[in-house]
Amino acid sequence: MRASWVSLLVAAATLTACGGSSDESGNRLASASQYAQQCAPTNSDASAANRTGSLDTEKLWMRAYLGDAYLWYDEIPNIASNAAQFSNTADVYGSLDNYFEALKTPSVTASGARKDRFSFLIPTDTSTALFDSGVEAGTGVNWRMLSSRAPRGLRVSYVTPGTEAATKGVLRGDTLVTVDGVSADDETAAGVGVLNAALFPGNTGGTHSYVFSRAGVGQVTVSMTTAAITTKPVLNYSVIDTGAGKVGNIVFTSHVAPAEAQLIEAFAALKAQGATDLVLDLRYNGGGYLYIASELAYMIAGPARTSGKTFEKLNYNAKRTSDNARAPYPFEATSTTNAALPTLDLARVYVLTTSETCSASESVINGLRGVDVDVRQIGSTSCGKPYGFAAQDNCGISYFPIEFKGVNAKGFGDYADGFTPNGAGATGIAGCTAADDFTQPLGSANEGMLKAALGYRANGTCPVAASQESPQALGVLAGRGAPLRGRPLLSNRFLTPSR
């Protein structure tokens, strides 16, 4: 099965040979391969040897590639590619990003949310560093916000261990007041620029002053310098002794490559300690590699429930007949080094979710439900992303247009508005509504969401519903009147040639 999925990625990379797209005037485009690696002279992301083309050529490549690979290729708007916002040679990346956003389908889901909130592009070196090595620029602080408009309610969701933020005592639940003298609620273009540089940096080496409000303490000022942060996908794991057996708990934040070894360690430890139930904390897990999700689901359910069964079937657009004919993605029983994975062999699992629980994390939920594992959901509605892609690189930029929709062994994948605890219909899952509890550490049995899961397991009842915030993952802020943009690398499912 591994070899066939390597072939799938090769097929995705060579897809553009078939051509078949048209520009905004209806003129037939050549295949994307005819425009590839002909980069603008001012594209600093491209290698010097490839800067022999133009911004127009890069846009032609993008339009041709989306015309073949994009799941909703037939919904691409007719956009004038020579518009000013797409044609600034002094800002090639910004122009390409604007054009890419404009080409996405304008269709919406049943709830009115934009159907494609997820396709994105990003410098290739940035995506490679995060997903292959788990490294990104930052301070070690991971953020949540209540609103895209003032008051934003920017809070620390967790701190990555071993980082400067951890060393200097930044705590989960700290609320941001100012950065470099700029209010966390500033909505001017200049103020937003300051916030972006400090909260979602693209580079290392910038030193910033953060003022936090801390419950019971008051204001705390911390100076931190952005650095290359190695993420810790499994923040912690433990076994909780209850009156009705031992419950394992795993706080899992990202399906990046280093997560494999950390998950194997966690499941082996829980198994050795006799855990007979599991609470899987995915509240801040926006996704990542699909093979990690498949391995995780297998380690939960075990071989008896998954052998020979589909974890996820990938459905592409109608042009991609060979991809649509491929075998479904399986429950992976071995690691990337071909070692057998430890399993808990559970018939039931409790999953903690928020609006940040996205993509590959939702694949875990949907894939387990497809083989009749009893998934119980605690928290709030997940983000709603049954879609994914394989990266396509051109001129130092990696493009991630939505390419496929994933469905489970029962053929279900219609959860574009997310899974909801005790919700109605096919996307409603038995469980409890519970608020994210910033007063307690993640993994503590006293933390509100984990406590609700343990209580629900013990007696089948839910806590009195607390007021529900709807915080979002903080990404790059935009100026007044423009929407906030999420952290795309942390809200997706990716294919990889390694599986």
Total of domains in the chain:
3
155 inside domain? yes
Which tops the pLDDT comparison, 208 or 17? 208
* Residue where one domain finishes, among candidates 230, 248, 276: 230
CATH of the domain at 193: 2.30.42.10
Range of the domain at 196: 135-230
Whether 53 contacts 46, CB under 8 Å: no
Contact 457, 324 (CB under 8 A): no
Residues 12 and 143 in one domain: no
Q: For residue 374, what is the domain's CATH number?
A: 3.90.226.10
Residue 486 lies in a domain: no
Q: Which pLDDT value is given to residue 495?
A: 59
- Angstrom CA distances, 5 to 233, 255, 303, 485, 497, stand at 24, 18, 21, 31, 7
Same domain as 361, residue 315:
yes
Task: Please identify, among 117, 143, 172, the residue that sits at the C-terminal boundary of a domain.
Answer: 117
pLDDT tens-digit readout, 242-299 = 989 999 999 999 998 999 999 999 999 999 999 999 999 999 999 988 999 999 999 9
| 380 and 271 within one domain | yes
Same domain assignment for residues 220 and 248? no
Q: What is the pLDDT of residue 482?
A: 31
What does the block give as tokens for 222?
Answer: 């911390």
**114-133 burial, b for 16+ CB within 10 Å, e for fewer?**
ebbbbbbbbbbebbebbbee
**Dmax over Cα atoms in the chain, in whole Å?**
70
pLDDT, tens only, 117-161: 999 999 998 877 776 777 888 999 999 987 767 888 899 999 999
Same domain, yes or no: 216 and 298? no
Q: What is the mean pLDDT of residues 215-232?
A: 95
List, as one string, the DSSP characters of 415-441: -TT--EET-SGGGEESEEE----TTS-
Tally of CB atoms within 10 A around 461: 9
Query: Has residue 68 been placed in a domain?
Result: yes
Predicted pLDDT of residue 465 = 66
Residues 332 and 60: their CA atoms lie apart, in Å, by 38
Q: How far apart are CA 136 and CA 126, in angstroms?
A: 7
Q: Which of 246, 272, 277, 488 is nearest to 387 (CA)?
A: 488
- 91 domain residue, yes or no: yes
DSSP state of 284: T
Nearest to 179 by CA among 141, 217, 215: 141
With cut-offs at 50, 70 and 90, classify the pLDDT of residue 5. very low
With 60 as the cut, is the pLDDT of residue 460 above it?
Answer: yes
pLDDT value for 491: 55
Residues 338 and 401 in one domain: yes
Task: Judge if 441 and 325 occupy the same domain.
Answer: yes
Question: What pLDDT does residue 129 have?
Answer: 76
